[in-house]
Structure 1
Amino acid sequence: MRMRPARSTMNRRGSPAGAVRNTGEVAPATSVSPSAGGGAGGRGTTPGEPPPPQAATRLVNKASNRMRARAISISVSSRKVDGQTGGRKPASVVHANEGEGQVLCVRARAAPRRHAIGAPFAAAQTGRRLCAGAGNRKIGRRRPLQNVDRQVIVPALFVRGKIKRWFRRRLCARLFDRDTVYRAGSPRLFPSKEFFMRSSSCFSQRVRAGAAAGLLMFSLHAGAQTRDWVVTGTIVTADRVFADGALSISGDKITAVGERAALPGNAAVTKLDGIVLPGFIDLHNHLTWNVHPRWIPNRKFSNRYEWQNTAEYDRVLAGPHAALGGAICEAEIFGEVKALIGGATSVVGSLTPDKLGCSRGLLRNLDVDSGLGPAPAAGEACQKNPKAPQALFDLVVNDVFPLEIDYERMNFLRCALGSGAMRSLVVHLSEGADASARREFRMLNKTGLIMPGLVVVHGTALRAEDFQVMGEKKAGLVWSPRSNDELYGESSNIAAALQQNVAVAIAPDWSPTGSAGMLQEIGYAGRRYKNVTPEQLIAMGTSAPARMARLDDRIGALAPGLMADFIVLHGDKDKPHLAAVRATPADVQLVVVGGRPMYGDAPVMARLLPGVKLESLVVCGAKKSLYLGDSAAAAPRRSFADIQSKLAAVLAKAGASLAGFECN
């Protein structure tokens, strides 16, 4: 779903009018704003004053000698990333409370404004950040996940020699045609865009430091619980169900899955006796729009361009959304909370690119800015040496509208995806029910971009022969049935897609016409589309999106070595898949992201996080608790009730109301 705000001063998705490209997409932004705690100054330097360059160089060289090649988690244009390249395991893991958040590179404008953010370079040392701002901030202090409008995963393995020099001189300096920040390290520890635009003098130092950093992707929570613990219940894995099972967690990883009798003897046992599933992975959402109540259009539409140009849409959604203004960060937090309530642990689709640093980081934000657009030189570099980016640039790009991008960008995307340099490319395509919507697929097919790694969002106009092409070329599909039914009166032909061996994921799109969360969307599909089994629906929300995002070695299943992202539901344990499809948000007993309980029944959360401040919620008549963390850039130390109050007040001035927590 692609939204268009009011025409007056805001463009699509609420971005300032000046940020729109001629492609119709929002131009890329650069970074996240710093948290309330400020930056971390280098040891031996005055806050706001850079250390001697020689000292920084010594630190970087020392780091390089310790870590020759590591898996680096980087964020492109406020997107999160992580990972490993080509199936290789990271050489080592550095948790957020053990290492430093470091910047890979930044391309700044010629005459950036000055900001009182701090020194351009601070000493790299344990417990402090590299290239941080003024003041001292310990690593253990939370930093909100950067995100924004979309977020992604950019895992990369950096080595010495030609590849590293190629990245520094070619990719880093020339990839984006606007200023964009690459970051390495824990997502919670990143300084702001404004800070890095303050000075470009430490550009090469940041590149070398970032190449030596090697922090594990998806280090969501700096203070994640590190004790070993075990959850018991009905454990649903990819290939079997353990009726009396146990899931063992150490830090942010799953260490064992199996029968309860085999659980480790030295771990604390949390007896929940519910249905334990992998956390849902939402590959298609627009979180900040989920503050709005349901919109039931007075008619059906032929394609996505039609409903965006109605007075009803402007009055009910686009106008109130544009009026959010200074409350856009609160809208992001509200959207992430709704995603947790629906059982999601990973999501794509957050803030607009120009509003950075607002994400709470309550769950994994996987996508990157839709404004990815290499300069011609970057496209030429890929064409001349298509294997060069392989070790540098495993990327999942979300929300690129392929028919609205220029020739050079198309060449780069085709080259990067075809060579394997880009993990996956998620595109909105053929959304609607008319011939023009279907024609988009045929046009894209002629460009040669339909290939392994391409993921089509919607595809409601596609026919069996189109899915045959996708199946042969191993492209995937994201299905948003409720929103499609509401807007167009029909949905994607899932039976035809599955028959042609197309990988299918399910996602809610947005709550105005879709569902409020993954659990509700899966329930809707289960009630309306009887030809899809409960087992298939659960796979569409877990293992299928993980494979499509090329992250199935990290998330999407309950298996040793994967991230401890899981949910626990109340329900009939004899039929766990059917119970999960029929569950409502009231049945969500627990949501865990990276080993940390984030949301669940009030008694369960109090038992798992004793002494921790929790937010109280009532969801579908059930008392729940939410862990918001220590602080956020947008609203430090504010309660969720305060956030709701601010959003309600802002929307009321625009003649609108704040959405509730929908149950179905």
Structure 2
Amino acid sequence: MNPMPWLLSAALLSHPAAAELSVTPGTGGQLVIRGRLALPEQELDGRLVLAGDRIVCAGADCAEPADATVLQVNDGLILPGFIDAHNHVAYNALPKWAPPKRYQNRAQWQRAAAYKAFKRPYDQLKRSGLSCEMVKYGEAKALLSGVTTIQGSPAGRCLQGLVRNAENPQSGLPVSSAHVRTFILDVGGAPKIDWNATDAFLIHVAEGVDAAALAEFATLKSKGLLTAGTAIIHGTAFGDEEFRQMGAVGSKLIWSPQSNLALYGQTTRVDLALRHGVPVSLGVDWNPTGSDNLFDELRVADRVNREQFAGAIAEQDWLAMITRHPSQALALDSYIGALRAGLKADIVILSGARASVGQTLLNARLRDVAAVLVDGRLLYGDRDAMTAAGRADCDALTVDGAPKLLCMRTPGVPKGGQRLDEVRAALLKVYPGVAPLAAP
């Protein structure tokens, strides 16, 4: 993603874009967003000032450049772009999978005939040369819920210009391909990590509920990989002692409750993780057994928190679990994860703000995503707002009954001229059962 100026065209913005968004066009290259801000320390009525791909001021006292375009957000909430901390993005072209039974560990269902049969279309799509389309479709699905950065994409130059792919050089961030490393296979085969080059190592560990799953923690330690730079994905089999050791060294946890419940009938003891000071991030995992979107995953997490964890996750922590905590787990907090001067202009605007940020997130539906910016570029949002912003040439779709536009085309990269309908058509030609972008 190359830094680009704010794409609002002053000539086209002479009327309110929607009930919640109104625009006063300016002649300069900066943008001011006024409204209720979810800042790292507090919520307040204030301003964001954007210049190109960066936030240059965030707060109540930001000076507005005289020639800036002003976007006024009424009855809404302005938040940092969401980060899906773990998602097998290419698999999100697949529909839901109903496991025929509950499993004890990940190896069991991956070897099962039922899963192998379910996975055949994925293999067929890859053999048909559609890996780029599969991931781009998954990125578009994530963008609908305000996700601006996602972990779990394979490398590829075609993956540039939409959602940031955290571990890839195409993320649009000034980090090397070694900065974030991931490992999804058996922990016994985990590679050695050069911690001089790698700041974040994300690894599946203890995904399951039996002794075999738990034994992976000992293997991780024996390889010298339980460190402050390690983020453990799942940890479903962990108990108090494992989380104590994680907290002692500063390791992080990435939690995917819906997928855990579907496959194993129980999920990670996040209450124990929090007791030992382990930062927790949320990830949808994948479409087959995960939630349809990040908002639904938050609601699953909230239900588990109330029913099993006695409210150990505080209301104010929900935003941190999809912004600040994953940015730290990915060692990208110098660039993303908050509305703060100097960080990238990755922004989500939600309609219908509630009394608190936590309540707004837990009540949010896909139709409430009024606008999403990545690198200061408006990529998705309400159709009227997008049209007024000069983005009428983007792809029209109806999401949760609301008219939206999504800008998928990224000129200058392989397959970058594809529109959303072209990507979807290519996938459907090989596999008619491709999952919808949004659940009906």
The bucket for the TM-score relative to the shorter chain is: 0.7 to 0.9
Q: Secondary structure at the match of 2:78?
A: strand
Greater relative contact order, per chain length (Cα 8 Å cut-off, separation 6+): 2
Matches within 5 A, 1:373-392: none
Is the CA contact (8 Å cut-off) linking 2:84 and 2:149 kept in structure 1?
yes
2:364 corresponds to 1:564:
no
Matched residue, 2:162: 362
Go from structure 1 to structure 2 and tell me whether the alpha carbon gap of 1:574 and 1:393 turns closer, same or farther (over 3 Å shift): closer
Which TM-score applies when normalising by structure 1?
Answer: 0.58
What per-residue deviation string (whole Å, max 9, x for no partner) do you get for residues 623-646 of structure 1? 111112343755453321122122
Q: Secondary structure at the match of 1:345?
A: strand
Residue 491 of structure 1: how far off its partner (Å): 0.8
Match of 1:315 among 91, 103, 117: 117
Query: C-alpha distance in 2, partners of 1:515/1:545?
Result: 18
Letter of the structure 1 residue corresponding to residue 33 of structure 2 = V
Q: Secondary structure at the match of 1:326?
A: coil
Go from structure 1 to structure 2 and tell me whether the alpha carbon gap of 1:544 and 1:636 turns closer, same or farther (over 3 Å shift): closer
Is the CA contact (8 Å cut-off) linking 1:588 and 1:601 kept in structure 2?
yes
Matched residue, 1:237: 39
Matched residue, 2:90: 288
Is the CA contact (8 Å cut-off) linking 1:358 and 1:632 kept in structure 2?
no
Query: C-alpha distance in 2, partners of 1:233/1:644?
Result: 36
Is the CA contact (8 Å cut-off) linking 2:386 and 2:392 kept in structure 1?
no
Residue 239 of structure 1: how far off its partner (Å): 0.8
Matched residue, 1:10: none
Q: Secondary structure at the match of 1:271?
A: strand
**Larger strand fraction of residues:** 2
Match of 1:278 among 60, 80, 102: 80
What per-residue deviation string (whole Å, max 9, x for no partner) do you get for residues 540-561 of structure 1? 1000111122221211000111
Is the CA contact (8 Å cut-off) linking 1:538 and 1:581 kept in structure 2?
no
Is the CA contact (8 Å cut-off) linking 1:285 and 1:509 kept in structure 2?
yes
Matches within 5 A, 1:578-617: 578-608=359-389, 610=390, 613-617=393-397
Match of 1:642 among 407, 418, 422: 422
Go from structure 1 to structure 2 and tell me whether the alpha carbon gap of 1:256 and 1:358 turns closer, same or farther (over 3 Å shift): same
Query: C-alpha distance in 2, partners of 1:349/1:548?
Result: 13
Match of 1:327 among 130, 135, 141: 130
Go from structure 1 to structure 2 and tell me whether the alpha carbon gap of 1:626 and 1:323 turns closer, same or farther (over 3 Å shift): same
What per-residue deviation string (whole Å, max 9, x for no partner) do you get for residues 324-358 of structure 1? 1223222121111011012111111123x5xx333
Matches within 5 A, 1:421-436: 421-436=197-212
Query: C-alpha distance in 2, partners of 1:426/1:261?
Result: 37
Matched residue, 2:20: none
2:49 corresponds to 1:248:
yes
Matches within 5 A, 1:539-558: 539-558=320-339
What per-residue deviation string (whole Å, max 9, x for no partner) do you get for residues 436-490 of structure 1? 0001002212332211111100000000110000000111110011101110111
Matched residue, 2:179: 395
Say which is worse superposed, 232-241 or 327-336, in terms of deviation: 327-336
Letter of the structure 2 residue corresponding to residue 302 of structure 1 = Q
Go from structure 1 to structure 2 and tell me whether the alpha carbon gap of 1:483 and 1:601 turns closer, same or farther (over 3 Å shift): same
Q: Percent identity?
A: 33
What per-residue deviation string (whole Å, max 9, x for no partner) do you get for residues 606-654 of structure 1? 223x1662110111111111112343755453321122122122113xx
Letter of the structure 1 residue corresponding to residue 200 of structure 2 = S
Which TM-score applies when normalising by structure 2?
Answer: 0.87
Is the CA contact (8 Å cut-off) linking 2:105 and 2:210 kept in structure 1?
yes
Residue 518 of structure 1: how far off its partner (Å): 2.4
Letter of the structure 1 residue corresponding to residue 272 of structure 2 = A
Match of 2:411 among 631, 636, 640: 631
Matches within 5 A, 1:531-546: 531=311, 532-546=313-327
Name segments (4+ residues, structure 1) moved above 4 Å. 391-394
Go from structure 1 to structure 2 and tell me whether the alpha carbon gap of 1:357 and 1:554 turns closer, same or farther (over 3 Å shift): closer
2:356 corresponds to 1:575:
yes
Query: C-alpha distance in 1, partners of 2:394/2:316?
Result: 34
Residue-pair matches, total: 406
Query: C-alpha distance in 2, partners of 1:554/1:578?
Result: 26
Q: Secondary structure at the match of 1:478?
A: strand
Structure with greater Cα Rg: 1
Residue 400 of structure 1: how far off its partner (Å): 5.3
Query: C-alpha distance in 2, partners of 1:479/1:567?
Result: 22
Letter of the structure 1 residue corresponding to residue 227 of structure 2 = M
Matched residue, 2:23: none
Matched residue, 1:54: none
Matched residue, 2:400: 620
Residue 363 of structure 1: how far off its partner (Å): 1.4
2:103 corresponds to 1:301:
yes
Query: C-alpha distance in 2, partners of 1:479/1:307?
Result: 19
Query: C-alpha distance in 1, partners of 2:261/2:83?
Result: 22
Is the CA contact (8 Å cut-off) linking 2:168 and 2:177 kept in structure 1?
no
Go from structure 1 to structure 2 and tell me whether the alpha carbon gap of 1:490 and 1:589 turns closer, same or farther (over 3 Å shift): same
CA RMSD of aligned residues (A): 2.3
Query: C-alpha distance in 1, partners of 2:410/2:357?
Result: 35
What per-residue deviation string (whole Å, max 9, x for no partner) do you get for residues 142-193 of structure 1? xxxxxxxxxxxxxxxxxxxxxxxxxxxxxxxxxxxxxxxxxxxxxxxxxxxx
Go from structure 1 to structure 2 and tell me whether the alpha carbon gap of 1:620 and 1:264 turns closer, same or farther (over 3 Å shift): same
Go from structure 1 to structure 2 and tell me whether the alpha carbon gap of 1:574 and 1:443 turns closer, same or farther (over 3 Å shift): same
Letter of the structure 1 residue corresponding to residue 136 of structure 2 = I
Go from structure 1 to structure 2 and tell me whether the alpha carbon gap of 1:339 and 1:477 turns closer, same or farther (over 3 Å shift): same
Go from structure 1 to structure 2 and tell me whether the alpha carbon gap of 1:240 and 1:230 turns closer, same or farther (over 3 Å shift): same
Is the CA contact (8 Å cut-off) linking 1:602 and 1:624 kept in structure 2?
yes
Matches within 5 A, 1:446-461: 446-461=222-237
Q: Secondary structure at the match of 2:385?
A: helix
Letter of the structure 1 residue corresponding to residue 234 of structure 2 = H
Say which is worse superposed, 271-280 or 528-537, in terms of deviation: 528-537
Go from structure 1 to structure 2 and tell me whether the alpha carbon gap of 1:493 and 1:611 turns closer, same or farther (over 3 Å shift): closer
Residue 520 of structure 1: how far off its partner (Å): 2.6
What per-residue deviation string (whole Å, max 9, x for no partner) do you get for residues 63-119 of structure 1? xxxxxxxxxxxxxxxxxxxxxxxxxxxxxxxxxxxxxxxxxxxxxxxxxxxxxxxxx
Match of 1:337 among 140, 145, 148: 140
Letter of the structure 2 residue corresponding to residue 364 of structure 1 = R
